[in-house]
Amino acid sequence: MTRSMTKILVQLASAALLLAAGAGAAAATFPAKPVVLIVAGAPAGGTDAIARIVSAELSQSLGQSVVVENRAGAGGIIGTKAVAGAPPDGHTLLMGHVATNAIVPALIKPRPYDPVADFVAVAMVGSAPDLLVVSSKSGIDNLADLLAKGRATGSLSYGSPGVGLPQHISGFALAKASGVPMQHVPYRGSAPAITDLIGGQISMMFVTPGAAVPYLKSGQLKAIAVTSPKRNRFFPEVPTVGELGFASVEQTGWFGVFAPAGTPAAVVQALSTEIGRAVGKAEVRARLEAMYLEPATDPSSRTFSAFVKAEVDKWAGVVKTLGVSAE
């Protein structure tokens, strides 16, 4: 080996040691200030509620305040991009979900951010399918009734909490699979859509269980299908879309914490460990299950990273196959 090559190798090794030392120092001092957990949506929604459960636990375990900050707008793009561009030190995090970190990048052109390259998947929190609901005053008892009404009238209308969310895609997929024309009516969240559904302004909607349950209990809404591959333990009497012949409509929403790309591995591991410990607590699981969310069985960064990559690929294929757009 020549003297010049030896010198280069020594310089590379020194640089690697410096980088490792820097990462170790960052982890040792983390968190050095309050941590901001961004929700790319409005307060009082499902994602916001999950974020506040996680932030309360992290504030205790990290010994530093973890503050939830809502940055709504542009279908979640504004808040999500804010985290992608934040300093990669673990002090700015995202409570992401299937729409922000898998569907929107496949649906919006040009792509607003790279869901894999721009983020580190820190920890999964939980997952939940959607329910297909109708107004109890509609006279519809099941999916067959709903589709028969659509064929008789020429079309149906379905609400969603916004363009590019799973509920939008599910309605589009059901229309394509059934051959019944369905007009998408996007709202700013589930609450106004549910109000119009109860009032008869729209025919149906796919909705998260947490948002629908109060109206199911009051008798104002009726659940006629669930989008999970098998019957949901919280709603065992509701048939799956697969049972009813529409497996292409299956989808499960999920929620998890992300950090900007480049965040030191030791910091990511520390956050992942603490979130995993929180999700494993009986009292935290009870709070998540009260929202009809299935707590993650393996919240780890490694497992969540592989899961997110698979979801990104899956939803890119779904968007392309269905031909759905953000229009």
pLDDT in tens, 202-255: 999 999 998 999 999 999 999 999 999 999 999 999 999 999 999 999 999 999
Question: Of 273 and 188, which is predicted with more confidence?
Answer: 273
The answer to whether residues 220 and 136 touch, using CB atoms and an 8 Å cutoff, is yes
The mean pLDDT value for 292-301 works out to 97
Domain boundaries along the sequence of the chain: 33-127+253-322, 131-249
Q: Do 33-127+253-322 and 131-249 show the same overall fold?
A: yes
The answer to whether residues 224 and 143 touch, using CB atoms and an 8 Å cutoff, is yes
- What pLDDT, on a 0 to 100 scale, did the predictor assign at position 31? 97
- What pLDDT, on a 0 to 100 scale, did the predictor assign at position 19? 46
Cα 43 from Cα 254, distance rounded (Å): 18
pLDDT tens-digit readout, 134-162 = 999 999 999 999 999 999 999 999 999 88
Reported as half-sphere exposure (CB side, CA atoms, 13 A), residue 42 has a value of 11
pLDDT tens-digit readout, 314-326 = 999 999 999 988 7
Tokens for 50, please give them. Answer: 């999950």
What are 269's strand-pairing partners?
A: none
- What pLDDT, on a 0 to 100 scale, did the predictor assign at position 145? 98
Helix axis angle, 3-29 relative to 265-280, nearest 10°? Answer: 30
Tokens for 285, please give them. Answer: 């699981």
- What pLDDT, on a 0 to 100 scale, did the predictor assign at position 188? 84
Helix axis angle, 301-322 relative to 166-178, nearest 10°? Answer: 40
Largest CA distance in the chain: 86
- What pLDDT, on a 0 to 100 scale, did the predictor assign at position 20? 46
Domain spanning 131-249: CATH superfamily: Periplasmic binding protein-like II (3.40.190.10)
- For residue 170, give the amino acid letter: S
pLDDT tens-digit readout, 82-94 = 999 999 999 999 9
DSSP 99-118: IIIIIHHHHSSS-SS-TTTT
CATH class held by domain 33-127+253-322: alpha beta
Cα 75 from Cα 44, distance rounded (Å): 16
The answer to whether residues 194 and 219 touch, using CB atoms and an 8 Å cutoff, is no
Residue located via tokens 């309050």: 34
Nearest Cα to Cα of residue 142 among 250, 214, 244, 232: 244
